[in-house]
Amino acid sequence: MRIKLGCRIGYTLAAPTPMVALLNVHYSRFADLEGPDHLHTSPGVPVTSYRDMFGNWCARCIAPAGEFEISTNCIIRDSGEPDPYVPDAMQHAVEDLPSETLTCLLGSRYCDTDLLSETAWTLFENTPPGWERVQAICDYVHNTVQFGYEHARNTRTASQTLTERVGVCRDFTHLAITFCRCMNIPARYCTGYLGDIGIPLPHAPGDFAAWMEVYLGGAWWTFDPRNNQRRIGRVLIAQGRDAADVPLTNTFGRADLTRFEVWTDEIA
């Protein structure tokens, strides 16, 4: 299938403000793009790009004072298949894990493993290791936390999500990642596009989504504790230890959000 995707984000700025944006499709999907997903700004300003420590493509610019918009729009080809399901994917012993996965076992800004380790083992010690254990974690988070945009708070940690039992997709993801890491399963945070392809109406307004990837059976696999079902048309933008590593935009100064549009539409 072909999917048209993109975004338009607007700000009001009191002064010229440096900005970093992670809005380009992840390099692992470059070959699926029908054309480059260049970032556009209004008014136009010079934009330079670099790769961060996780390999994500980042764009930086200086946004002028006043009204400013940053946008992208492209078409990507997708298999049309739902997220993979590999129930026999095994959990590795820590000593057998590739060295590059070990960072994804450690605590991070929003994934406070030190506070949730005992809880994780109490909840999941008796689940079968591997895919079934990760699914049990996703089931628990999905059934325990109530989703609502009114619950959004950008400082909420995984342990606070468990205590408050409310949040948005990033909070579901942080809690599930933290439980996985506590159970010695490498897990990383992902952000990207996830439309409503294959989902019955009504649909909520377009938004970016957060999910996680876990390392099982020698590969990284997608799990989505917020939706807790296999979805079609998931398009990765960036990966990191948690949301602190992959903010969609990061402004180094006051910036008031005035516009936020995201679209992910199947092309017939």
Which residues fall within 8 angstroms of residue 232, CB to CB, at 6 or more apart? Answer: 78, 80, 81, 82, 197, 198
| Six-digit token string for 145 | 């936390």
User: Which pLDDT score is estimated for 247?
Assistant: 95
User: Which pLDDT score is estimated for 205?
Assistant: 80
Which residues fall within 8 angstroms of residue 54, CB to CB, at 6 or more apart? Answer: 238, 239, 240, 245, 246
* Rounded alpha-carbon distances, angstroms, from residue 117 to 160, 185, 208: 14, 12, 29
DSSP string, 87-129: TTPPPPPGGGS-GGGGGGGS--SS--HHHHHHHHHHHHTTSPT
Domains of the chain: 2-80+248-267 (2.60.40.2250), 94-245 (3.10.620.30)
User: Which pLDDT score is estimated for 202?
Assistant: 78
Residue 113 carries which side chain, given as an amino acid letter?
T
Q: For the chain, 268 residues long, give each residue's pLDDT as a single digit of tens.
A: 999 999 999 999 999 999 999 999 999 999 999 999 999 999 999 999 999 999 999 999 999 999 999 999 999 999 999 999 999 999 999 999 999 999 999 999 999 999 999 999 999 999 999 999 999 999 999 999 999 999 999 999 999 999 999 999 999 999 999 999 999 999 999 999 998 988 887 778 888 999 999 999 999 999 999 999 999 999 999 999 999 999 999 999 999 999 999 999 999 8
Strands 17-21 and 249-251: antiparallel
* Rounded alpha-carbon distances, angstroms, from residue 136 to 132, 142, 224, 233: 6, 10, 12, 24
User: Which pLDDT score is estimated for 132?
Assistant: 98
